[in-house]
Amino acid sequence: MIGVILYGAGLGMFGLLMRSNWSALEREVETLAGTLHDSLKPLLPAEARPSAQLAAVLPGLCLAGDPCPSPPSLISRHAVSVTDPERFYLRLLDPRGVLIAHSPGSPSQSPRAQAEHLGPAWSVVVGPGGERSMQYSIHLHRSHTPVHSGAKARELDWGYLQIGRSLRGLDAERQRLWWAIQTIVVLALLVAGLASWWLSGLAMRPLLVAYRQQEQFTADAAHELRAPLANLLGVVEAHRRQPPDDAVARDQMLAAVHRQGQRLSRLISDLLLLARLDGPQSAAAVQPCSLTQIARDLLEETSEAAAEAGLTLKLLDVEEEAEIMGVESELYRLVSNLLLNAIQYTPRGGEVVLRLGRERSQVVLQVQDTGIGIAPSDQQRIFDRFYRSDPGRSRRQGGTGLGLSIVAAIVHRHRGQISVASNHGFGSVFTVKLPMVGGRILEDLRVAGNT
Ligand code: ADP
């Protein structure tokens, strides 16, 4: 496309330049023809034929039929350049189009061609060597003043005056310009090609990254799904080799199948939730939600799990008016994932604290534990899908490796930020900041939902 545009623009420029050069030459020749015509008019002999009288009027021209001397002499002040044989030639013809006189070096034309060139004022004549000239033909008049003094001069048709101007310079210029345009277009195309190659590489980079992430995610998901399925099939296969009436083995098998089934179900529902979080949000689901209420509810719900794990669970610094616009089920999931992780990764005797505060127009939610902590190198990666610092421990405790990516996706959808600070071996603090209720936020969420 760039090539076509460049080429079109180049040809357009070329055409315009050539046209303006041509018009300038036409004007030059027309002016010369007019001046010559006016100078010759009173001097022309009565008869339009090669004669000594005519030779006297136009000493620089050769009469038809006579040998033509060279170099030419000047005929008048205005005709200096007209008789320049390199650029101009001059021809005089009688009313029938028969050549009477011509300047040395004017291209010889057949009588038929001469007659044809008389019709239109302008014509292009090609000389014997292929050199082109533009030729301008006008009627030549003789002014005849009657003998009685005071009478007006009469203009009589005398013949034709033809002025030719060599197009050698113009043709050379055209040739030069034509090649310059070809070279410029080819060079510009080359540069444009290289630039588009480079720019498309730049534009493709984020797409490639997203594509690789998607590929990695699919491979990880397949791997995660395969493990419980393989366990499940292994248990069933092993049970088929047992005696059919072994009730203990059957119960063990059913418990194992149930465990693996639950793991699969959790994994699939987490995958579905992530897929939903990646897609557009339904505007109808967005409503004012009290994070205070959500925190209290979840503290109550997880207190049993915390007690079982031998942990103290506390809610501190509660901001009573922590209300934000959002999707309630997603906000429940956000807080519960953080709380369950804190319980899961904190050894017996530890403490999990949930704080809910306010910072300007944001609600700040913090989940702090005195657990195993996260190594600095892992702190950026724990929000990646299926990333686990300790895969064995996570799987044993029923983790899918998707909990924190779900949390990050929910925070992102609610225009918030999440960060982690951890002292490896001593505990971690997850901090979530979410914008408080406001018309703009609601509007933003609606727009995000509609797109
Ligand atoms: P899962 O817990 O199912 O493995 P998550 O996405 O919830 O997956 O967590 C990713 C990883 O981050 C976990 O495997 C664990 O290594 C680390 N992690 C998350 N929360 C904590 C925490 N409170 N303390 C220490 N490590 C944590």
Task: Grade residue 78 by pLDDT with cuts at 50, 70 and 90.
Answer: very low
The rounded distance, in Å, linking the Cα atoms of 416 and 410 is: 9
Please tell me if the CB atom of residue 399 comes closer than 6 angstroms to any atom of ligand 1. Answer: yes
Distance 420 CA to ligand 1 centre (A): 11
Evaluate whether 143 touches 151 at the Cβ level (below 8 Å).
no
Q: Per the confidence metrics, is the pTM higher than 0.95? A: no
Amino acid in the structure at residue 30: E
Residue whose CB lies within 8 A of the most ligand 1 atoms, among 313, 339, 345, 420, for a mutation test:
345
Q: How confident is the model at residue 86 (pLDDT cuts 50, 70, 90)?
A: confident
Higher pLDDT, 369 or 121: 369
The dihedrals phi and psi of 16, each to the nearest 5 degrees, come to -65, -45
The pLDDT tens digits for 248-259 are 888 888 898 999
Cβ of 403 below 6 Å from ligand 1: yes
Ligand 1, closest atom to CA 427? 24
Closest residue to atom 14 of ligand 1, CA basis: 388
Q: Does the bond joining 50 to the residue before it have cis omega, within 30 degrees of 0? A: no
- Average pLDDT of the residues in 233-256: 85
Mean pLDDT of 88-114: 82
347: helix, strand or coil: coil
Ligand 1 within 6 A of CB of 428: yes
CA of 344 to the centre of ligand 1 (A): 8
Tens digits of per-residue pLDDT, 170-229? 999 999 999 999 999 999 999 999 999 999 999 999 999 999 989 999 999 999 899 889
- Compute, in angstroms, the gap from residue 326 CA to the centroid of ligand 1: 25
Residue 313 has pLDDT above 50, yes or no: yes
pLDDT at 367: 97
Nearest Cα neighbor of 99 from 84, 86, 116, 115 is 115
Q: Which residue is closest in CA terms to ligand 1's atom 8?
A: 401
pLDDT band at residue 147 under the 50/70/90 scheme: low
Is pLDDT at 23 greater than 50 in this prediction?
yes
CA of 260 to the centre of ligand 1 (A): 20
Does the Cβ of 401 fall within 6 Å of ligand 1? yes
Count CB-CB contacts under 10 A for residue 316: 11
| Beta-bridge partners for 369 | 352, 428
Q: Which of 121-125, 297-301, 305-309, 447-451 has the lowest mean pLDDT?
A: 447-451
Which CATH architecture fits 281-450? 2-Layer Sandwich (3.30)
Residues 6+ apart with CB under 8 A from 447: none
Which atom of ligand 1 has the smallest separation from the CA of 388? 14
Give residues with Cβ within 8 angstroms of 11, minimum separation 6: 181
* Closest C-alpha to ligand 1, atom 20: 341
pLDDT of residue 75: 47
Mean pLDDT, residues 300-326: 91
Ligand 1 centroid – CA 389 distance (Å): 7
For the segment 95-107, the average pLDDT, to the nearest whole number, is 84
Does 407 sit in the ligand 1 pocket, CB within 6 Å?
no
Residue 434 predicted with pLDDT over 90: yes
Torsion of the alpha carbons at 316, 319, 323 and 326, rounded to the nearest 10: -20
The domains of the chain are located at: 2-166, 281-450
Residue 210's alpha-carbon distances to 156, 207, 417, in angstroms, are 90, 5, 21
Confidence of residue 125 (pLDDT cuts 50, 70, 90): confident
C-alpha 38: how far from its chain's center?
Answer: 63
Give the number of the atom of ligand 1 that is nearest the alpha carbon of residue 404. 6
Does residue 390's CB lie within 6 angstroms of at least one atom of ligand 1?
yes
**Does 374 contact ligand 1 (Cβ within 6 A)?**
yes
Residue 89 Cα, ligand 1 centroid: separation in angstroms? 98
357 neighbors 424 (Cβ within 8 angstroms): no
Quote the CA–CA distance of 357 and 433 in Å, as a whole number: 10
Distance (Å) from CA 382 to ligand 1 centroid: 7
